[in-house]
Amino acid sequence: MDNLIQTIVVGLSVGGIYGLVALGFTIVYRSLYVINFAQGHVFMVGSFMGYIGFSLTSRYPVSIFFIVLVAAAMIAVITAFLVYKKIHRADHLTFAIASIGVGMIMENMVRMVSPDAKKYPDVFGEKVFTIGNIYISKQYMWILGITLALITLLQLFFYKTKFGKAMRAVSENRDMASLLGINVTHTVYATFVISSVVGAVAGILIGPIYFFSFDMGFMTGLKAFSAAILGGIMSVPGTLIGGFILGVAENLGGVYVSSDYKDAIAFALLIFMLMVKPTGLFGKRQ
Amino acid sequence: MQEKTLRSRMIIALVAILLLLLPAFCGYYVLHIIIFSGINLITVLGLGLLIGFSGQVSLGHAAFYGIGAYASALLTVKLGLSFWIALPLAGIIAGIAGVLLAIPSLKVAALYLVMTTIGFSMIVWLMMLQWSGLTNGPNGIIGIPFPAIGGWVLDSPAKYYYLILVFALAALWLMSRIVRSAVGLRLMAIFDQEEAAQAVGINTTYFRVLAFVISSIFAGVGGSLYAHYVTFIHPENFNIWVSISFLVMAVFGGQRSIPGLTASVLILTFATEYFRVFGEYRMIGYGLFLAVGMIYFPRGIGTIKLASPKSLLARLLRSKTG
């Protein structure tokens, strides 16, 4: 029983990471109706920048955290300026291929600097909470806390601020929003900046749990994309719940069914869920 | 008119002679890449049918390719069957796998199909890796026999080239027939106007599954030809990157253009091989190629043939200013 609860808690925090990366897919899809397959790579780059920052000094973790987020935002602006801005109106397949290209560029640039897996510096402390026979590392608490805080902030941004409302207007009707004086190009940039920052947060959070390596982006991206689809890619809370379900299912499957087929379980679950509910758990019919 | 057909016949004859004599001109390495191009072409043609004509995007075609390769390898190595029996069986087994994936996928929308195909291909890949009893796990299968015609064993690239040539030309011929047939027209009708197609009595479900099956059979045959050429296969030959490269070739070729698909397969296969020396830079270059290619040719290179150099320049200028 204790083992079960512990597995679920670990699954929830890994799921939180999937949820955050998945949120990047959701934010872009909601406003531009395209899939950014470089999202997992943005997560990896965020993790890498965090690694560099925390290796330099461990004295100002909060400042480093925010510097990394600013850097992630700058990368988003650059890629949006060079590539995404030009093709966000194209066919979704065209955009998918171009974003796969962008992802390959990111992955191999990081690979040139850091070809081996690296142990992440310990940012959150190593304290372990004990409740009965359940051991929960402090890191997992941080992951869950930051994930939930970020989701709340994003919801507030989309529904309470003027700019957030403008972004939603663009996603509903781009031409009409443009006629009403909303700068569509700015919202395109904002979309990629937000999704990139969220991805970078996830990258920093996962660092202390796993090793960092240049090739971790694609697989995490795929799983996060499944989580987004699972929860319904149009809904922010749905996406996060999709991430939690995927994380928990994967960990339970890995512990109780077969660790060899851990990833297969996650994907089989996804296919099954899509058969039962083709638009995702919280998706609305379009 | 008379002169024109004569000229086109001469061109065809010239191309045929060139293709037949190719092993004499080309070095070992170039021939090797041409064989890979032929194998890729068979798979990508099937994928092109699926994407361009029925609007279903698969990011898991390496699974069908891999199923074909493993089926053919196991049938020849473990059961001792001849290549000529294993190849059609590999196609049929891949086709059955296609049905198994297509039927649950019918309910899901286009975007979600991408995900179910990725999921399917991950599951197949993990089975290749973990089901050691059948697939020999990460060690793969070695000693897959070369095909033989009578006593003549196709054990060198020059000999295998002719086998691939026959299969690739057959695939091209077959695909151009399918595309122009009633099936192809119905698929296009479903893609362009689903409701209208239903209204005139086209069974959209049936034709969607059919497109999926045809395309997985092509991939299965491609996989079988691959296995018997390299004689050693392991799960990494069929991972998600292979699916991506097939998808990239199909999209880059342009939708609904068989010459475009052929050109794209040749260009991308040669590019991947020749840039191998550049290591990590190769992948960066490949990524740039995809991103820039999609900016300037969002509908694939199959559309280039309509553009004269002048209009191509105009398009480049327009995309700069616009």
Instruction: Locate the chain A residue with the closest alpha carbon to B299.
Output: A94
B312 in contact with chain A, both atoms CB, cutoff 8 A:
no
- Interval A190-216: pLDDT, tens: 889 999 999 999 988 888 777 788 888
Q: Are residues B141 and B73 in contact, defined by beta-carbon separation less than 8 angstroms?
A: yes
B210-214, B252-256, B281-285, range with greatest mean pLDDT:
B210-214
- Higher per-residue confidence, A29 vs B26: A29
pLDDT more than 90, % of chain A: 8
> B234's torsion region: left (phi>0), alpha (psi -120 to 50) or beta?
beta
Q: For A70-84, B36-50, B155-169, which range has the lowest pLDDT when averaged over its residues?
A: B155-169
Averaged pLDDT for residues A64-93: 85
SS3 per-residue string spanning chain B: CHHHHHHHHHHHHHHHHHHHHHHHHCCHHHHHHHHHHHHHHHHHHHHHHHHHHHCCCCCCHHHHHHHHHHHHHHHHHCCCCCHHHHHHHHHHHHHHHHHHHHHHHCCCCHHHHHHHHHHHHHHHHHHHHHCHHHHCHHHCECCCCCCEECCEECCCHHHHHHHHHHHHHHHHHHHHHHHHCHHHHHHHHHHHCHHHHHHCCCCHHHHHHHHHHHHHHHHHHHHHHHHHHHCCECHHHHCHHHHHHHHHHHHHHCCCCHHHHHHHHHHHHHHHHHHHHHCHHHHHHHHHHHHHHHHHCCCCHHHHHHCCHHHHHHHHHHHHHC
pLDDT one-digit tens code per residue, A148-196: 898 888 888 888 888 888 888 887 777 888 888 888 888 888 889 999 9
Q: Do A94 and B294 touch (CB under 8 A)?
A: yes
Minimal Cβ distance to B112: which of A92, A108, A274: A274
Model confidence, pTM: 0.81
Whether residue B287 and residue A105 make contact (CB cut-off 8 A), yes or no, is: yes
Q: What is the structure's pLDDT at B322?
A: 42
Question: Higher model confidence: residue B223 or residue A270?
Answer: B223
Cα radius of gyration (chain A):
19
Inter-chain residue contact B126 with A90, CB threshold 8 Å: no
The CATH code of the domain that includes A36 is 1.10.3470
Residue A286 has pLDDT above 50, yes or no: no
Kindly report, residue by residue over A43-54, the tens digit of the pLDDT.
999 989 988 888
Name the residue among B107, B228, B105 with its Cα closest to residue B160: B228
**Measured distance CA(A155)–CA(A174) in Å, rounded:** 21
List the single residue in B111, B284, B295 with the smallest CB-CB distance to A109. Answer: B284
Cα B37 to Cα B224: distance, rounded to the nearest angstrom? 14
- A286 in a structural domain: no
| Residue A11 resides in a domain | yes
- B112 contacts in A (CB within 8 Å)? 229, 274, 278-280
Of B115, B127, B319, the CB nearest to A226: B115
B126 → closest Cβ in A102, A112, A263 = A263
Check pLDDT > 80 for residue B23: no
Residue B306 confidence (pLDDT): 47
Q: Is A146 within the bounds of a domain?
A: yes
Q: Tell me which chain B residue has its CA closest to the CA of residue A105.
A: B284
Mean pLDDT of A90-115: 84
Q: Which of B235, B225, B237 is nearest to B76 (CA)?
A: B225
Asked if residue A132 belongs to a domain, the reply is yes
Whether pLDDT at B214 is above 60: yes
pLDDT average, residue stretch B44-56: 84
Write the ipTM: 0.79
**pLDDT bracket for residue B2 (50, 70, 90):** low
Q: In which band, very low, low, confident or very high, does the pLDDT at A74 lie, cut at 50, 70 and 90?
A: very high
In terms of CA atoms, which chain B residue is nearest residue A38?
A: B287
Residue of A41, A226, A273, A275 to mutate for B, most B C-beta atoms under 10 A? A275
As a whole number of angstroms, the distance between CA B91 and CA A74 comes to 49
Query: How many domains in chain A?
Result: 1
- Is A282 a domain residue? no
The parent domain of residue A131 ranges over: 2-276
B256 contacts: CB under 8 Å, gap ≥ 6? B48, B52, B53, B179, B188, B302
Shortest CA gap A179–chain B (Å): 19
The domain limits of chain B are 27-241
Position A227 pLDDT exceeds 70: yes
- A281 found inside a domain: no
Q: What pLDDT digit, counting tens, does each position of B293-309 carry?
A: 888 777 766 655 444 45
Structure confidence at residue B307 (pLDDT) = 45
Residue A52 lies inside a defined structural domain of this protein: yes
Closest CA of chain A from B283, distance in Å: 6
Of A86, A100, A263, the CB nearest to B295: A86
- Residue with the bigger pLDDT between A224 and B1: it is A224
Average pLDDT value for residue range B118-128:
86
Say which residue, A29 or B23, is predicted with more confidence: A29
**What is the C-alpha separation between B66 and B242, in angstroms, rounded?**
10
CA–CA separation, B73 and B87 (whole Å): 9
- Give me chain B's average pLDDT, please: 81
Q: Express as a percent the part of chain B with pLDDT over 90.
A: 14
Q: Which chain B residue lies closest to A29 (C-alpha atoms)?
A: B111
Query: Residue B189: CA atoms inside 13 Å, Cβ hemisphere, count?
Result: 19
Instruction: From chain A, pick out residues whose CB is under 8 angstroms from the CB of B126.
Output: 260-261, 263-264
Asked if residue A127 belongs to a domain, the reply is yes
In Å, what is the CA distance from A127 to each residue of A58, A118, B170? Answer: 17, 22, 66
Q: Which pLDDT does position B64 carry in this prediction?
A: 93
Q: Which residues of A266-280 are buried (b: 16+ CB within 10 A; e: fewer)?
A: bbbbbbebbbeebbb
